[in-house]
Structure 1
Amino acid sequence: MTNAEPVYRRAMVDDLDAIMALETALFVNDAWSPELMAAELANPQGFYLIAEQVESVVGYAGLLSPRGAPESDVQTIAVAPEARRQGIARSLMSRLLAEAVERGARETFLEVRVDNPGAQALYESLGFEGIAVRPRYYMPDGVDALVMKKDLEQAE
């Protein structure tokens, strides 16, 4: 994969096949179904982005953030292995957090596998703190999830 500057845009239902190709390749045992992902993309309370490089989807991320609700939740984030270490995940997360603030959220939550220290380090660098563990959250592997929370700064 080239190091061309990624283009970020709102994900559409038309992006489902490309998103699912990454989803099933990266999350072999616990990938979302196409039906669930399609419902997420169509949900007006959600906000999904994709990152494209050379006209290929190399990353995606999603947020559940009903307008006016005090809480938001990062639903998913993924970056293709060949596109990692370019700041794509950080950029996707930053854009999700900005959208959460715009929608009025005061805090954002996420779950991350306890066996994924790289993702945990990214989230910590963005201001997330671990607040709880959900035992055996990721199935069928039975891996625990670390629940993380970030307090959001509201624009005045």
Structure 2
Amino acid sequence: MRWWDIEPVLELEHVLFPEDAWSAGMFWSELAHARGPRATRRYVVAEDPQTGGLTGYAGLAAAGDLADVQTIAVAPQAWGTGLGSRLLTELLSAATAFECTEVLLEVRVDNTRAQRLYERFGFEPIGFRRGYYQPGNVDALVMRLTDPASSATGPALRSEI
């Protein structure tokens, strides 16, 4: 993801997460940590090969030996195509490159589609964060993957960073 991707990312962000969408400033801040020798972030975008339009994006933050999936988003027209798996594969490859031994994430307790994706990659539930998603006071399921290198396989994702 580059700065010029922020506007289309925000459009999809507002479609998928209308009540708790990230701001442009949040994406700018994340991208500020995604370049150079001290980078601690990896953000990628996926584009439709036919139209060039944005179909998804994902981001990961690393600190020491721990990584955290910050976001994964797939446009509704790309649901069921395997794009979510490819985005997650890219993030796990980045976690491995950052030399992380564990990856954490939060997922809405009512988002069973995403939970199944994460379970296929070996993530296991480890707890809850009560009222994590606002508004609506929806709980988050916290999931952890140990040894991301063993799960970072799959088709390559064309991405820019």
State the alpha-carbon separation in 2 of the partners of residues 41 and 70 from structure 1: 20
> Residue 21 of structure 1 corresponds to which residue in structure 2?
11
TM-score normalised according to structure 1 size: 0.88
Which structure exhibits the higher relative contact order, with contacts defined as CA atoms closer than 8 Å and separated by 6 or more residues?
2
1:110-121 mapped onto 2 (5 Å cutoff): 110-121=105-116
- CA offset at residue 103 of structure 1? 1.1
> Residue 87 of structure 1 corresponds to which residue in structure 2?
82
What is the SS of the residue equivalent to 1:30? Answer: coil
Alignment deviations for residues 90-117 of structure 1 (CA, whole Å, 9 cap, x no partner): 0000110011011100000000000000
The question of whether the paired residues in 1 share the 8 Å contact of 2:109 and 2:141 is answered with yes
Match of 2:125 among 130, 138, 147: 130
Alignment deviations for residues 20-62 of structure 1 (CA, whole Å, 9 cap, x no partner): 0000111011101111111112213110000000211110000
The question of whether the paired residues in 1 share the 8 Å contact of 2:95 and 2:148 is answered with no
Counterpart residue identity of residue 60, structure 1: Y
Runs of 4+ in 1 over 6 A off after TM superposition: none
Q: Over aligned residue pairs, what C-alpha RMSD do you find?
A: 1.2
What is the SS of the residue equivalent to 1:48? Answer: strand
State the alpha-carbon separation in 1 of the partners of residues 148 and 135 from structure 2: 37
Asked if residue 98 in structure 1 is aligned to residue 97 in structure 2, the reply is: no
- CA offset at residue 119 of structure 1? 0.3
TM-score normalised according to structure 2 size: 0.86
Percent identical residues: 43
The question of whether the paired residues in 1 share the 8 Å contact of 2:8 and 2:54 is answered with yes
